[in-house]
Amino acid sequence: MTLAGWIVMLLSVGGTTAFFFWCIRRVLRPPGSTGKIHGVLDTELEIEEEERKRRREGRGS
Amino acid sequence: MSKQSPENWSSKIGVILAVTGSAVGLGNFLRFPGLAAKYDGGAFMIPYFIALLLIGLPLAWAEWAMGRYGGTRGFHSAPGIFRVLWKNPAAPYLGVLGLIVPVVIYMYYVFIESWCLGYAWHYLTGALDLGRDPEAYKTFFGNYVGIGADASIFSNIFGAPLIFLVICIALNFILINRGLTRGIELFCLWAMPALAVCAVLVLIRVLTLGTPDPSKPELNVLNGLGQMWNLDAGNKSLWEQLANGKMWMEAAGQIFFSLSVGFGVIITYASYMRRNDDIALSSTTAVAGNEFFEVSLGGMITVPAAFVFLGAAGAVGGTFALGFNTLPLVFDQMPLGQLVGFLWFFLLFLAAITSSISMLQPAIAFLQEGLGLNRGRAVALLCGVGTLGTLLIVWFSKDLAAMDTLDFWVGTFCIYLLACAQTLIFGWIFGTKRGLEELGRGADIRIPRLFAFVIKYISPVYLLIVFVVWAWQDVGSRLDDFSESAAVRWSLIFLIGVFVLFLWWIRIAVKRWRAQEARS
């Protein structure tokens, strides 16, 4: 086994194993220990919706 | 919109294991190592990981988002979900692919699953101790699956192949009949850890083999790992290997099939998530779980084990050749080989059954929400259609022609079509903005914004290139088979029949949904 082979194996196997266990750790974290992420997009969409409503109301009056 | 009582997953870990179980199959332990060895070891990993980032993860996220979006609007099958996402009369009919693909793949997958269970049983009883003659294992496998002549399995109704097939079909339908949480989720909650334990035990055995034959010191575990992971295992430079276009295609195909994206299963499973459940971390964990089983376990077992006993030539082969001919020969020469053989085929059986039950759920969901059947009737109807297809595949067993035909047209061609359709619907019709919003709701991790660009532009182009090149290479010769083989003809006639049947059911479903919407 060459040095490059060792590097590829450690990166591939180590990377996928670490990635999997990182995910599992996040999943098994007790509820409430992490805040739910409501992305910026949520806020953006809500703002857009608000603006649309305001415009409609403005036209109506 | 479904009038059935709403079903949901009972736990986050349950849905993750169910989706991971759906993705982890024979390909993780046999096809992936076989491909890596074929393409000179570690160089294969570069296009493999690029495809994971550009096709695998984005498409998985897209399917989860579309599935949950449709599910919160009362739909759990591709026709219903596509109809919600795309306000076009053709949308539900496009969803036929999301039903046909899993159902038809189930028809032959359950047959392969029965081989794994049968082999595990034969190892347990010592019936697979056939000595060191490679031909003995080939003959055993050929007789077991009926590769020599059509319908040869039926010559002994009470023979092991048919008995294990009946057991597997019964197990699948019993589990699916128990429902989402008491059937699929509960089974995956113990089957996936059991699968991991079996794989780790086999891995420990393989990594502790040392140099089994002192007269051949070069055949040792380290060189076996080198066969799998070295960059220059084939005496070519890395750049020469990376210039091989076919390797890029096969790496993309492996990622694509391994993750079960474009299968129609993830979209259905995700539809049972609640509106504010996390799907970002769950989908990422399911992908990571599949990669763990494929790279960290599959990549460390199959090729090194075959190399240590058979050398470089023995470590290369197709899925069935490597799994059912080469590895039994390897187990025979290995200390504790009968036990390792049992563990190996039992883990393949678990990997197969957690996939096959997932293939039934999309059609069950459709029959319930589209035709208004209760779960029992939906299961009975699907059991009839599914078993008919399986019998056709078992009947035309010579050279596994029927299985090969359906695997090509459904297990490859239709999957590409469905994946392309899903990518375009998500990126261009549903919209990446809404898609990201759906992924972000209740999310425990943040999905990178770059995803929107990748799924809209990169993934469809990548998929289309892979699809066109693959079709260019393979479709022509497949069409010629139609006139030459009765098995191919009957398989395609059957496939067209199933297509028409499902399209007819979708037509009825659309009428029912319109009537329900008009009433409400």
The pLDDT averaged over each successive group of 10 residues in chain B (520 residues) is 66 92 91 84 89 94 96 95 95 96 96 96 90 88 93 89 96 95 94 94 91 88 90 73 83 86 91 92 95 94 89 79 89 90 95 95 96 95 96 94 92 89 94 93 91 94 86 78 85 96 97 92
The model's confidence at residue A61, banded by pLDDT at 50, 70 and 90, is very low
Please name the member of A4, A17, A41 whose beta carbon is closest to the beta carbon of B433. A41
Show the domains of chain B with their CATH numbers. 12-519 (1.10.4160)
Q: Does B223 touch chain A (CB under 8 A)?
A: yes
Q: What is the DSSP track for B251-311?
A: HHHHHHHHTTTTSSHHHHHHTTS-TTS--HHHHHHHHHHHHIIIIIIIHHHHHHHHHHHH-
Task: Name the minimum distance, in Å, from the CA of A57 to any CA of chain B.
Answer: 25
| Residue of A12, A29, A40 to mutate when probing chain B, most B C-beta within 10 A | A12
Give the chain B residue nearest A5 (alpha carbons): B230
Residues of B in contact with A9 (CB under 8 A): 42, 225, 228-229
Task: Name the minimum distance, in Å, from the CA of B407 to any CA of chain A.
Answer: 29
Residues of B in contact with A17 (CB under 8 A): 292, 296
Distance CA B265, CA B184 (A): 13
**pLDDT, averaged across chain A:** 75
- Give the range of the structural domain holding residue A28, as residue numbers without chain letter: 3-60
Give the chain B residue nearest A20 (alpha carbons): B288
Distance CA B65, CA B71 (A): 10
Q: Tell me what pLDDT residue B257 has.
A: 83
Please name the member of B226, B288, B439 whose beta carbon is closest to the beta carbon of A1. B226
| Residue of B295, B300, B436 to mutate when probing chain A, most A C-beta within 10 A | B295
Say yes or no for a CB contact (<8 Å) between B291 and A20. yes
| Residue of A10, A33, A36 to mutate when probing chain B, most B C-beta within 10 A | A36
**B283 close to B304: Cβ distance less than 8 angstroms:** no
Say yes or no for a CB contact (<8 Å) between A36 and B226. no
Say yes or no for a CB contact (<8 Å) between B288 and A20. yes
Count Cα atoms within 13 angstroms, Cβ side, for B80. 33
Interface of A with B (CB under 8 A): 1-2, 4-6, 8-9, 12-13, 16-17, 19-20, 22-24, 26-28, 34, 36-39, 41-42, 45
Task: Name the minimum distance, in Å, from the CA of B240 to any CA of chain A.
Answer: 16
Say yes or no for a CB contact (<8 Å) between B444 and A37. yes
Domain count, chain A: 1
Say yes or no for a CB contact (<8 Å) between A2 and B231. yes
Task: Name the minimum distance, in Å, from the CA of B401 to any CA of chain A.
Answer: 36
Q: What is the pTM of this model?
A: 0.89
**B319 close to B83: Cβ distance less than 8 angstroms:** no
For chain A, first and last CA: distance in Å? 78
Residue type, B354: T
Distance CA B361, CA B355 (A): 11
Task: Name the minimum distance, in Å, from the CA of B231 to any CA of chain A.
Answer: 6
For chain B, first and last CA: distance in Å? 11
Distance CA B501, CA B499 (A): 5
Say yes or no for a CB contact (<8 Å) between A4 and B443. no
Q: Does B135 touch chain A (CB under 8 A)?
A: no
Q: Does B232 touch chain A (CB under 8 A)?
A: yes
Residues of B in contact with A13 (CB under 8 A): 295-296, 299-300
Task: Name the minimum distance, in Å, from the CA of A33 to any CA of chain B.
Answer: 11
> How remote is the C-alpha of B99 from its chain's centroid?
15
The model's confidence at residue A40, banded by pLDDT at 50, 70 and 90, is very low
Q: Does B303 touch chain A (CB under 8 A)?
A: no
**A12 close to B251: Cβ distance less than 8 angstroms:** no
Task: Name the minimum distance, in Å, from the CA of A46 to any CA of chain B.
Answer: 11
Task: Name the minimum distance, in Å, from the CA of B147 to any CA of chain A.
Answer: 37
Residue type, B394: V
Say yes or no for a CB contact (<8 Å) between A45 and B299. no
Is residue A60 over pLDDT 80?
A: no
Say yes or no for a CB contact (<8 Å) between B299 and A13. yes
Is residue A47 over pLDDT 70?
A: no
ipTM here: 0.88
Residues of A in contact with B231 (CB under 8 A): 2, 4-5, 8
Q: Tell me what pLDDT residue B472 has.
A: 83
Task: Name the minimum distance, in Å, from the CA of A58 to any CA of chain B.
Answer: 26
Cβ count within 10 A of residue A30: 6
B84 CB-near residues (< 8 Å, 6+ apart): B69, B70, B73, B75
Give the chain A residue nearest B223 (alpha carbons): A1
For residue B175, give the nearest of B348, B404, B51, B358 by alpha carbon. B358
Say yes or no for a CB contact (<8 Å) between B223 and A13. no
